[in-house]
Structure 1
Amino acid sequence: MAAQTLTVPKTDTHVVLAKDGGWRVVVLNDPVNLMSYVVLVFKKVLGFDDQTAQKHMLEVHEQGRSVVWCGLREKAEAYAYTLHEWHLRAILEADDK
C-alpha cells in the first residue's frame, strides 16, 4: 500500500480579540458632599494618595466631572457601585478610542 501525501492549502488567518478595557469611571459633581469627604472617599475606595485625591476632587468641583479610573468593565462597575455606596455620583462611559 503506497503512502498518500495530504496537501493542505495555506490560509492566512488573523485572530482579533475584543478589547474589553475601554471603560471609564466618571465621578460627577453634586451639591451635597463636602470636598474633604470626596477626597476621603477617593483615598479609601480608589487607593489614591492625598495629592491625587485632591486633584480629582478639584476636577469634579471645578469642571463638574473627573475620570477616576479606566479599565475592564467588570471592575469599572464594581468601582461605580462602591462609589454609589459612599453617596457619590458616578457613571460609566465606554472608551470608544
Structure 2
Amino acid sequence: MTDVLEDLRLDERLLLGKPWTLVVWDDPVNLMTYVTWVFTSYFGFPREKAERLMLQVHTEGRAAVAEGTREEIERHLEAMHGYGLQATMQRVDG
C-alpha cells in the first residue's frame, strides 16, 4: 500500500510541476506593524507566525511566506503588490 501512495504522490508532483515560493522583501517604506497586519489579514497567519516572518523580512532582508502552484503564488504576488509590499516568486529547487 505504501508503494501505491508513493506512486500517487510522485504522479501528483509531476502533474503540478515544481512548487513555487512567494518571497517578501524588506523595504524602507512599510512599517513592521503594517507587514504583520498584511500577513495576518491576507494569509490568515496567527499573529506569532506573522511577526516571526515580518522580523525575518526586517533582519534578513527577505522571507519565504508561501509555497504552492505557480498560479497560487502569482495570485499571492499580485495581492502583495496591491498591499504595497515588494515581493517576487521563485521556483523551489529540488
TM over 0.5: yes
Of 75, 78, 84, 1:81 maps to: 78
* TM-score normalised by the chain length of structure 2: 0.82
Determine whether 1:62 maps to 2:59: yes
The structure with the largest alpha-carbon Rg is 1
From the two aligned structures, give the one with the greater helix fraction. Answer: 2
Determine whether 1:48 maps to 2:45: yes
In structure 2, the partner of 1:37 is 34
Deviation at 1:37, TM superposition (A): 0.3
Distance in 1, matches of 2:18 and 2:71, equals 10
Of 20, 24, 27, 2:21 maps to: 24
Q: Is the Cα–Cα contact under 8 Å of residues 21 and 70 in structure 1 kept in the other structure?
A: no
- Structure 1 runs of 4+ with >2 Å offset: 16-21
Q: Percent identity?
A: 39
Distance in 1, matches of 2:86 and 2:27, equals 7
Aligned residues: 83
Distance in 2, matches of 1:21 and 1:56, equals 23
- The SS at the match of 2:93 is coil
Deviation at 1:91, TM superposition (A): 0.3
Distance in 2, matches of 1:36 and 1:18, equals 39
Runs of 5+ unmatched residues, structure 2: 1-10
Runs of 5+ unmatched residues, structure 1: 1-15
